[in-house]
C-alpha cells in the first residue's frame, strides 16, 4: 500500500489531494512552522503521555552497548538522546530527519544536554536512505511515518539498511480500539488541538493537518502487513492508550 494514486502523481496531504512534490513541500512547511514549539506542544497535546509511549518503544528496542542505531524522523532527539547513553562511546546513533529545522533543533537539544561523540546528524529522506546495506542494529521512527509520501518505499529502505538480526520499530498514531473512544478523540483532534496550536504556536492549520494525517495513516493490521511485504518477519504491534498509538516491531533475518 502506498499513499500515491496509481493513475496519477497525486497523494494526500491530510484530507486534500495534492501533487507528490507539493506534499513534500507542504509537510516541510508544517515542521518548519512548529519546530520551535514542537516539544512544548507534544507535552500539551498528549498531557505528557508521549514520553511514556517513547519510553515503551525504547524498552522494546533491545538496544545494547556498542550497537549502531538509526532514529528516523528523529526531530528534536527524544529517542536519540536515550539511545546515545544506551550504546555508550563504542556505539553510534544517527539522528536523521528530512526537515532541516527539526534536525537543527535536535542537534541543539542534544548538544545542550552534553551528548556528543557518538551521535551523527544526517538530513535524509526515509524513502531513500543514504546508508550502506546491513548497517544498523536497530531503526526507529516515531510519529514520522505518516508524513512520508511513499510508506512502502520507506519501509523497504529501512529493511535494506538494517543488519540481519536487527529490528525496526514504528511508533505512530493509529486507530482507537476501545469502544466509545473514537468520538471523544475526534472532538479533541479537530476542535481542541487546532485551538491549542493557535494559542501556543500561533499556527492552527499545521495542527489541523496533523490531526488529518493521523486519520489517513494505515490502521494497525494494514501497517503490519506493509512491514511484512517489505520483508520484515515476526511482525507484531502493541496498542497504547487504547489504540490511539501503536508500536509496531519487525525483524530482519
Q: Which residue has the cell 563504542?
A: 90
Cross-strand pairs, 138: 69, 167
* Residue 196, domain member (yes or no): no
Predicted confidence at residue 8, as pLDDT, reads 54
In a domain, 199, yes or no: no
pLDDT score for 222: 98
Q: Is residue 29 part of a domain?
A: no
What whole-number distance in Å separates Cα of residue 171 and Cα of residue 205? 24
Range of the domain at 58: 48-175+220-251
Residue 40: predicted pLDDT: 77
pLDDT of residue 227: 98
Instruction: Indicate which CATH number applies to the domain containing 162.
Output: 3.40.50.150
What is the spatial distance between Cα 24 and Cα 193, in angstroms, rounded to a whole number? 23
105-155 tens-digit pLDDT: 999 999 999 999 999 999 999 999 999 999 999 999 999 999 999 999 999
Q: Is residue 158 part of a domain?
A: yes
| C-alpha atoms less than 13 angstroms from C-alpha of 235 in its C-beta half-sphere | 19
For residue 215, being part of any structural domain is answered with no
Beta bridge partners of 96: 122
The number of distinct structural domains making up the chain is 1
**And the C-alpha cell for 93?**
546513533
Specify if 103 maps to a domain: yes
213 lies in some domain: no
In this prediction, residue 2 carries a pLDDT of 46
Give the residue from 186, 185, 183, 190 showing the smallest Cα distance to 205: 190
Question: Closest by alpha carbon to 174, among 106, 82, 242, 249?
Answer: 242
Q: Which stretches of the chain score pLDDT less than 70? A: 1-8
Residue 205: predicted pLDDT = 85
Q: Exposed, middle or buried by CB within 10 Å (0-12, 13-18, 19+), for 14?
A: buried
204, part of any domain = no
- Write down the pLDDT at residue 36: 77
Amino acid at each position: 500500500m502506498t499513499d500515491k494514486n496509481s493513475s496519477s502523481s497525486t497523494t494526500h496531504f491530510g484530507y486534500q489531494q495534492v501533487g507528490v512534490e507539493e506534499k513534500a513541500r507542504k509537510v516541510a512547511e508544517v515542521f518548519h512552522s512548529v519546530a520551535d514549539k514542537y516539544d512544548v506542544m507534544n507535552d500539551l497535546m498528549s498531557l505528557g503521555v508521549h514520553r511514556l509511549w517513547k519510553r515503551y518503544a525504547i524498552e522494546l528496542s533491545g538496544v545494547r552497548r556498542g550497537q549502531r542505531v538509526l532514529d528516523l524522523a528523529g526531530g528534536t532527539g527524544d529517542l536519540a538522546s536515550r539511545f546515545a547513553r544506551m550504546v555508550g562511546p563504542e556505539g553510534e546513533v544517527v539522528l536523521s530527519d528530512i526537515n532541516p529545522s527539526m534536525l537543527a533543533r535536535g542537534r541543539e537539544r542534544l548538544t545542550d544536554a552534553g551528548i556528543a561523540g557518538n551521535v551523527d546528524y544526517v538530513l535524509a529522506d526515509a524513502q531513500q536512505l543514504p546508508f550502506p546495506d546491513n548497517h544498523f542494529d536497530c531503526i526507529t521512527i516515531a510519529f514520522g511515518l505518516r508524513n512520508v509520501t511513499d510508506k512502502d518505499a520507506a519501509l523497504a529502505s529501512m529493511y535494506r539498511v538494517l543488519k540481519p538480526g536487527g529490528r525496526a520499530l514504528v511508533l505512530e498514531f493509529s486507530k482507537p480500539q476501545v469502544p466509545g473512544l473514537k468520538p471523544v478523540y475526534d472532538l479533541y483532534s479537530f476542535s481542541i488541538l487546532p485551538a491549542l496550536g493557535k494559542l501556543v504556536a500561533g499556527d492552527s492549520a499545521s495542527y489541523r493537518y496533523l490531526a488529518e494525517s493521523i486519520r489517513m495513516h494505515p490502521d494497525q493490521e494494514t501497517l503490519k502487513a506493509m512491514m511484512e511485504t517489505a520483508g520484515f518477519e515476526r511482525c507484531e504491534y502493541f496498542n497504547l492508550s487504547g489504540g490511539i498509538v501503536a508500536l509496531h516491531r519487525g525483524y530482519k533475518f
